[in-house]
A and B are shown apart, each in its own frame.
Chain A
Amino acid sequence: MKTYVPPKFMIIRDPARCIQCQICVNQCSFDANYYDIEDSEVRNRDENCVGCHRCMTFCPTRAITITKNPLEYRENYNWRSEDIEDIWKQAESGGVLLTGMGNDKGYPIYWDHLLLNASQVTNPSIDPLREPMELVTYLGKKPDRVRIDRDSFDLETELAPQVKLNLPVMFSAMSYGAVSLNVHKSLAQAATEMGILWNTGEGGLHHSLYKYGNNTIVQVASGRFGVHAQYLNVARVVEIKIGQGAKPGIGGHLPAEKVTAEVALTRMIPRGTDALSPAPQHDIYSIEDLAQLVYALKEATNYTKPISVKIAAVHNSAAIASGMVRAGADIIVLDGLRGATGAAPKVIRDNVGIPIELALASVDTRLRQEGIRNQASLVISGGIRNSGDVIKAIALGADAVNIGTAALIALGCHVCQQCHTGKCAWGICTSNLSLTKRINPEIGARRLSNLLRGWSLEIKDMLGGLGINALESLRGNRLHLRGVGLTDTEAEILGVRMAGS
């Protein structure tokens, strides 16, 4: 059947600069660049181009650029080209439209409506190059009160297990199978080097990574992939995944093309079958059930590891979070609307869930109102793009943030949204062994560490500018934020005043 869907991108090759080296051909995993043997020339199949820029980046003479197909539709505010083409695709396939990465639609980004304070005249700035800045964050249940021995000043109160982070940024859960083993190795190495944590996601933990266990969060998701005794014992934190921001209400989905032998072994499933996680965890149908699982895991790990529970940010996040805390969770993870995924139905990714900024503000407010804010650490994620977003999240009340998309971008991702095909030309979200080589874990870990290093310097700069030298002073301190372009209700939910007031 002839497809009506036009090419979205065009590969523009400058013949004066092209040396026919065919590197674009060997690097394109979508078969959009090819070599015509008869005419001895490199050519394009624009209909296959997904705009990942791999060919452009690797062309040694910079002969290539990628543009949008300048095809014109008659202007229509309601029927955008994407809507039209989605209908064609469904008319041709009859299936669910899948996509990768996070919500790309024009919903408001509240980070861009929040501004930070700085010290001027009163309460002088602190120079981070001359004074120590405390970015260290401890995740875990904090006690209601502490008792200290009057003579030795030793802490008498027994604390619940705590995890130390050198900076308030961790790597989001990305499952092995959705991303490659080399990506996991990069995340694990960088997390270990920078003193933070990374998350295995719901695909299990490859045995070669057990040595990074001390910096690893292992996830127990609805499919229970790869969950066994050693998996739990090797980890630093065990996380129950109820949902994720990209597809609240439905389970994870790893297409069969990406279930290779190694992935299958780690997940403990048959090779070459779709790995579908059920929508709910079938043993968690109520908050009481959640409490049961939380305590079962605490028993299994001898109460030595914090138990984290991750939910997608949805309408009742505040009430749910309150329940989770009371169910015994040591860490609450909220994943917002912009959270990314390796594969999700496009309509769910783009229409379900709420922005993380609002969820964070409402959860933090509610927990404080109920006097239980100290009983769990609050970690948020979903489209954190830079250190500015991080600081604003802390100010809104988060203990730490998770970065997923940003981490993959550091590794080379161009957010072309083709993760579900398993053909990632950057070698990130694929199981194809020829492609996964493109991520050298040494380089990947270096790039991730560099990103975190840059952000921590920026955070210190901003803290210094605020006149504070410890993150604790900023945490939940919404007075350091002002809003712009917010409605009264938005400002109220975020708990910030308008700039100028």
Chain B
Amino acid sequence: MKRVLVNEPVCMGCHLCEVYCQLQHSKHEDMVKAFKREPSRPIARLRIEEKEPLFFPLGCQQCEEPYCVNACLTGAITKNSDTGVITTDEEKCIGCWTCILACPFGIIRQDLLRHKSIKCDLCQGLETPTCVANCPNEALTYTTIED
């Protein structure tokens, strides 16, 4: 299975990964429209944690034994048995925020407008997650992890 790995020494905290994640999960393909024409700002699934000079792009670790899946009250968060990718079904999510309490990395975000939990889905449908593709310093890689 493939995961996004962080080469932390070369993350410079530019936040471009966040911006492209926002674009990817918006309703537009043009960045200006994505940020200016939607009712609320798109939400990035990963966040740069900062403690200068350390920067760390922290996103879903796609845990082997996922706390969020085990905590979900509605069964909205599930783990794909083939790819191991953990995704949320936005239809089923009721925004109870239990997964947010369960996640030891604090990577699940609240969409307060739609009252849903938001998490990284490794850009299902793209060959390479957009954060990896757009990091200017190659701090993110999409790598195969041996089981």
A-side residues, CB < 8 A to B, are 16-17, 19-23, 26-27, 58, 60-61, 427, 432-435, 437-438, 440, 442-443
Min CB–CB distance B41 → chain A (angstroms): 9
Decide if A443 touches B15 in the complex (CB within 8 Å): no
Decide if A27 touches B14 in the complex (CB within 8 Å): yes
Q: Known contacts A16-B32, A433-B53; decide if A438 and B12 are in contact (CB<8 Å).
A: yes
| Residues of B in contact, count (CB < 8 Å) | 23
In the complex, whether B11 has a CB less than 8 A from a CB of chain A is yes
Report A-chain residues with C-beta under 8 Å of the C-beta of B20. 60
A60 to B9, CA, bound (A): 23
In the complex, whether B101 has a CB less than 8 A from a CB of chain A is no
Chain B residue with the shortest CB-CB distance to A57: B136
Q: Which of B15, B34, B52, B137 is close to A23, meaning CB atoms less than 8 Å apart?
A: B15
The 3 closest A-B pairs by CB, nearest first: A433-B53, A19-B35, A440-B10
Q: Known contacts A19-B36, A23-B14; decide if A58 and B53 are in contact (CB<8 Å).
A: no
Most buried by A among B16, B52, B138, B139: B16
A27 to B7, CA, bound (A): 19
Most buried by B among A61, A440, A443: A440
Chain B residue with the shortest CB-CB distance to A427: B12
B-side residues, CB < 8 A to A, are 7, 9-16, 19-20, 31-32, 34-36, 52-53, 55, 136-139
Chain A residue with the shortest CB-CB distance to B139: A440
Instruction: State the main secondary structure of chain A at its contact with B.
Output: loop
Q: Which of A58, A433, A442, A443 is close to B14, meaning CB atoms less than 8 Å apart?
A: A58
Report A-chain residues with C-beta under 8 Å of the C-beta of B137. 437-438, 440, 443
Decide if A437 touches B16 in the complex (CB within 8 Å): no
Chain B residue with the shortest CB-CB distance to A21: B19
A21 to B12, CA, bound (A): 16
Decide if B14 touches A26 in the complex (CB within 8 Å): yes
Q: Can you name 4 extra interface pairs (CB under 8 A) apart from A61-B31, A434-B13?
A: A23-B14, A60-B16, A60-B31, A434-B53
Q: Known contacts A22-B15, A26-B15, A427-B12; decide if A434 and B52 are in contact (CB<8 Å).
A: yes
Q: Which of B12, B15, B32, B34 is close to A437, meaning CB atoms less than 8 Å apart?
A: B12
Min CB–CB distance A136 → chain B (angstroms): 32
A168 to B91, CA, bound (A): 65
Decide if A19 touches B136 in the complex (CB within 8 Å): no
Decide if B35 touches A437 in the complex (CB within 8 Å): no
A21 to B14, CA, bound (A): 10
Report B-chain residues with C-beta under 8 Å of the C-beta of A27. 14
Decide if A23 touches B32 in the complex (CB within 8 Å): no
Decide if B136 touches A437 in the complex (CB within 8 Å): no
Chain A residue with the shortest CB-CB distance to B48: A26
A440 to B13, CA, bound (A): 13
A-B contact pairs, 25 of them (CB 8 A): A17-B32, A19-B36, A21-B19, A23-B15, A23-B16, A26-B14, A26-B15, A27-B14, A58-B14, A60-B31, A61-B31, A61-B32, A427-B12, A433-B53, A434-B12, A434-B13, A434-B53, A437-B13, A437-B53, A437-B55, A440-B7, A440-B10, A440-B137, A442-B138, A443-B138
Chain A residue with the shortest CB-CB distance to B23: A60
Q: Which of A17, A23, A435 is close to B19, meaning CB atoms less than 8 Å apart?
A: A23
A305 to B84, CA, bound (A): 56
A235 to B16, CA, bound (A): 40
Decide if B10 touches A437 in the complex (CB within 8 Å): yes
Most buried by A among B11, B32, B53: B32
Chain A residue with the shortest CB-CB distance to B52: A434
Report A-chain residues with C-beta under 8 Å of the C-beta of B34. 19
Decide if B15 touches A21 in the complex (CB within 8 Å): yes
Report B-chain residues with C-beta under 8 Å of the C-beta of A440. 7, 10, 137-139
Report A-chain residues with C-beta under 8 Å of the C-beta of B9. 437
Q: Known contacts A19-B31, A437-B9, A437-B53; decide if A58 and B138 are in contact (CB<8 Å).
A: no
Decide if A19 touches B16 in the complex (CB within 8 Å): no
Report A-chain residues with C-beta under 8 Å of the C-beta of B13. 26, 434, 437
Report B-chain residues with C-beta under 8 Å of the C-beta of A435. 12
Report B-chain residues with C-beta under 8 Å of the C-beta of A438. 12, 137
Q: Known contacts A23-B15, A26-B15, A27-B14; decide if A58 and B31 are in contact (CB<8 Å).
A: no
Min CB–CB distance B37 → chain A (angstroms): 11
A27 to B14, CA, bound (A): 6
Report B-chain residues with C-beta under 8 Å of the C-beta of A17. 32
Report B-chain residues with C-beta under 8 Å of the C-beta of A433. 52-53
A434 to B12, CA, bound (A): 7
Min CB–CB distance A87 → chain B (angstroms): 38
Report A-chain residues with C-beta under 8 Å of the C-beta of B16. 23, 58, 60
A438 to B139, CA, bound (A): 10
Most buried by B among A23, A58, A434, A437: A437
A61 to B19, CA, bound (A): 10
Decide if B19 touches A437 in the complex (CB within 8 Å): no
Report A-chain residues with C-beta under 8 Å of the C-beta of B138. 440, 442-443
Chain A residue with the shortest CB-CB distance to B34: A19
Min CB–CB distance B131 → chain A (angstroms): 13
Report B-chain residues with C-beta under 8 Å of the C-beta of A443. 137-138
A318 to B139, CA, bound (A): 49
Min CB–CB distance B113 → chain A (angstroms): 18
A486 to B11, CA, bound (A): 51
Report A-chain residues with C-beta under 8 Å of the C-beta of B15. 21-23, 26
Report B-chain residues with C-beta under 8 Å of the C-beta of A22. 15
A58 to B20, CA, bound (A): 12
A437 to B137, CA, bound (A): 9
Decide if B32 touches A58 in the complex (CB within 8 Å): no
A435 to B13, CA, bound (A): 10
Report A-chain residues with C-beta under 8 Å of the C-beta of B7. 440
Chain A residue with the shortest CB-CB distance to B137: A440
A427 to B53, CA, bound (A): 13
